[in-house]
Amino acid sequence: MTFKSQIDAYRKGKPARKLRAVLFDMDGVLFDSMPNHAASWAKVCTEFGLDMEPEEAYMHEGRTGASTINILANRYWKRDATAEEIEQIYKEKCRLFNACPEAPKMPGALQVLQEVKAAGLTIVVVTGSGQKSLLDRLDHNYPGFFTPELIVSSKDVKHGKPNPEPYLMGLEKAGVGADEALVVENAPLGVRAGVAAGIFTIAVNTGPLPEKVLTDEGANVLFDSMTALAQNFNTLNSEWEA
């Protein structure tokens, strides 16, 4: 598999710049945690009269909790949720999520991180999550790959994905330009955010959504698993430098 045509299309004739960083989403990329998130969101929202099937949670993945709640509140209540309602719903969602079995590492994610680190690239996490329980798991499950100053969570931004702010902040923290980085995402809104930030965006379809949902958001490259990305990362990196 070669990637030169996708890289050339992204650059649109602009001079090539050295790859310096990779920005990773977390849920559905580093951890197979989206089934737990989807079930928790569906249960809590339905309990509050905001009926949602678990599948819809995958479409909202990457948003802040408040944004997700307000989309449903406007659908069913025809208004934004109050700050108190948001706090109550999100607190209960976190309780349900934390009661779920611990989400495993995503197959292939460790190999991708190893390839990225071996290439001397900066590793950044850009997640819509603000749950301390999951953020704390990064160092436990992937020791030596992450530092707190290179993590962007929902607590750091005003606008979550699909707004480009989280990825723009990730670039700022890494000290790199948009054309010196890659984004690795599994969610349509995350792909949209990476593309809007001007970054070459790799979609990894680790969930139940059709591939077209990710490519329609502008993904530059699509893989069907993190293992497939690991197997192709060195080739992509070499062709980026060519």
CA–CA dist 233, 174 (Å, integer): 20
**Residues 6 or more apart from 82 whose CB is under 8 A from it?**
none
Token digits of residue 164: 């480009």
**Residues 6 or more apart from 108 whose CB is under 8 A from it?**
225, 226, 227, 228, 229, 230
**Residues 6 or more apart from 120 whose CB is under 8 A from it?**
none
CA–CA dist 45, 194 (Å, integer): 28
- pLDDT per residue of the chain (242 residues) written in tens, 0 to 9: 789 999 999 999 888 999 999 999 999 999 998 899 899 999 999 999 999 988 888 888 878 888 899 999 999 999 999 999 999 999 999 899 889 988 899 999 999 999 999 999 999 999 987 766 556 789 889 999 999 899 998 888 889 899 999 999 999 999 999 999 999 999 999 999 999 999 999 999 998 889 999 999 999 999 999 999 999 999 999 999 86
Token digits of residue 179: 């054309």
Secondary structure letter of residue 212 according to DSSP: H
**What letter represents residue 72's amino acid?**
L
| Residue located via tokens 């449903």 | 72
Going along the chain from its start, the domains and CATH numbers come out as: 4-33+105-241 (3.40.50.1000), 34-99 (1.10.150.240)
